[in-house]
Structures are given as structure tokens and as C-alpha cells.
Structure 1
Amino acid sequence: MNHANHTPSTLPLIGRLLMATIFVFSGVGKLAAPAATVGYIAAMGLPFPTLGLIGAIGIEIGGGLLLAFGLQTRAVALALAAFSVVTGLIFHHAIGDQNQLIHLLKNLAMAGGLLQFAAFGAGALSLDARVKQPALAARTA
């Protein structure tokens, strides 16, 4: 029996919620302590740290919520994967420090999980699936 075709539809939902949690919490944390984030961005030598803060909050909270609800999941997952890799390489490149290495590997692992959503979509319990179903019904009517 091939179990690959019998995967419970709740697994992609749970995966999306777990993956989205880290982005939403991180974005809310940046909202709560913007000066710390601006200082960290500036310390890395990046230009326009306040703009970077605004962008990061938008990507993390907006992308995290879109991922959680499964809306535009493939595009959002690609954007969050790229964000995870870029931020990991910029902010956690000091791999001689075990803590920074762990953060870099965490970002890379998150990107890997996000690429799964980019490849396979949000699953049945998502807004993407709800949007697709009426479109399919209209074409077959």
C-alpha cells in the first residue's frame, strides 16, 4: 500500500503553522524592541537600518501570516526561504561562534522546509485550496 497518497491533510497545515510561528514571533519582537534591531542592522554595516527594520517586520509578520493561512503559499515560501538564507548569511556568518553557527543552520533548515511548500503547495486546508476549488468548479460547469 502506498502511504504517500494517504497523507493526512492536516500535516501541511501543522507544518505551515509551525514554520510561520518563528517569523511572526520574530516580527512582533522587532516591533517591541525596534531600537535593538536597528542597532544590530547598523552594526552589520548595512545601509538604511530603519528601512531594513520596516522591511524585516513586513516580511516576517506579513509572510508568516500568509504562510499560516496558506495564501499565495508557493510565492510566499520562496520569499521567506530567500529571506532566511540572506539574513542567515548576513547576521549569523560568524560560524566560529557555536551560537551563530546554530542560528545559521536554523535559517538554512527553515529555508529547506519552506522550499517544500514552494514545491508542493499549501495543502488541502488552506486559502489557496479554497481559491482554487471555485475556479475548478467554474471550468467544469
Structure 2
Amino acid sequence: MTIQTTTARPGTSASDVAALAGRILLAAIFVLSGLSKVAAPAGTIGYIASAGLPLPQVGLAIAVIVELGGGLALVAGFRTRFIAAVLALFSLATALAFHNHLADQNQFIHFFKNVAMAGGLLQVVAFGAGRFALDRR
């Protein structure tokens, strides 16, 4: 079965547009989460501490850098494969650290949301950013 692509303009395939849209959609949750941590750091520090992790202030700084910096880099298509790999590992680590009470339906959903996000990010690792990315320059 062959899927035909249409072109938005000469040299632009639907897969290039889909790659950009996919990066934006994947990055949105990281950018928003990073911004919320910047806006209310005390809540995040308390949450990290309640999970029993050491150095919650350092954890907050790492989370902001990874989420906000990584999310924006993913949108821009800057070092896309590396950034997507970092975000995938971050998603799995946070699933294990913060959403590991799988008997709680809410935690179960959040755990597998993070796993699904990691899967989407691994697709970016495998196939790259597409045409509309700083990586292409």
C-alpha cells in the first residue's frame, strides 16, 4: 500500500509538514511544564521532595532546563535526535520516579502517558526532524 503525499509548495512534502507538526505537539507538554515550574518553583520542589528524591532544588533546575530548553530546541529542530533522546529518557525517568503507584488509576494513566511520549520521541530519534529544522542548515 502506497500513501500519496501532496505538496504544500514545490519541494515540500506532507511528511515534512507532519514532522514539524509532530515536533511542535510533542514539545508542547514539555514547554508548558517547564514554564509552570518557573512560575511556581516551590510547588515543584515540594513535589520532588515528597517523592523522596535528593536535592530537590537541583532536580527543579534540571527539569526546567530539560523541559523548557529541550522543548524549545525540539520545536526549532536544533540537535533534534539528541534532544529527542534526552526528552525520551527524561519521560521514562519521571514516569518511574513520580508515577510508579500503578494501582492508582491516575498514576497508571500518567505513567503510560510518559511511556507513550517516550515512544513518540524515539520516532524522532529514528527518523530525524524533517525538512523544517535548524538541523537542515
Give the structure-2-normalised TM-score. 0.91
**Runs of 4+, deviation exceeding 6 Å:** none
Using the TM superposition, give the Cα deviation of residue 32 of structure 1 relative to its aligned residue in structure 2, in angstroms.
Answer: 1.0
**Aligned residue among 92, 105, 128 for 1:85:** 92
Q: Deviations over 1:31-80 (max 9, x none)?
A: 11111100010111111000000100000000000000111000000000
**Aligned residue among 37, 46, 57 for 2:44:** 37
Q: Deviations over 1:115-138 (max 9, x none)?
A: 000000000111112x2xxxxxxx
Which residue identity does 2:75 align to in structure 1? A
Give the structure-1-normalised TM-score. 0.88
Q: Does residue 42 of structure 2 align to residue 21 of structure 1?
A: no
Aligned residues: 130
Tell me which protein shows more helix as a share of its residues. Answer: 1
> For the residues of structure 2 that align with 1:79 and 1:30, how far apart are their CA atoms?
19
> For the residues of structure 2 that align with 1:89 and 1:55, how far apart are their CA atoms?
16
Relative to structure 1, is the Cα distance of residues 64 and 97 closer, same or farther in structure 2, using a 3 angstrom cutoff? same
Q: Aligned with 1:3: secondary structure?
A: coil
Identity %: 53
Moved more, 82-91 or 5-14: 5-14
Counterpart residue number, 1:57: 64
Q: Does residue 114 of structure 2 align to residue 107 of structure 1?
A: yes
> For the residues of structure 1 that align with 2:126 and 2:25, how far apart are their CA atoms?
18
Gap regions ≥5 residues in structure 1: 132-141
Gap regions ≥5 residues in structure 2: 7-12
> For the residues of structure 2 that align with 1:84 and 1:4, how far apart are their CA atoms?
33
Using the TM superposition, give the Cα deviation of residue 95 of structure 1 relative to its aligned residue in structure 2, in angstroms.
Answer: 0.7
Compute the RMSD of aligned alpha carbons. Answer: 1.4
Which residue identity does 1:78 align to in structure 2? A
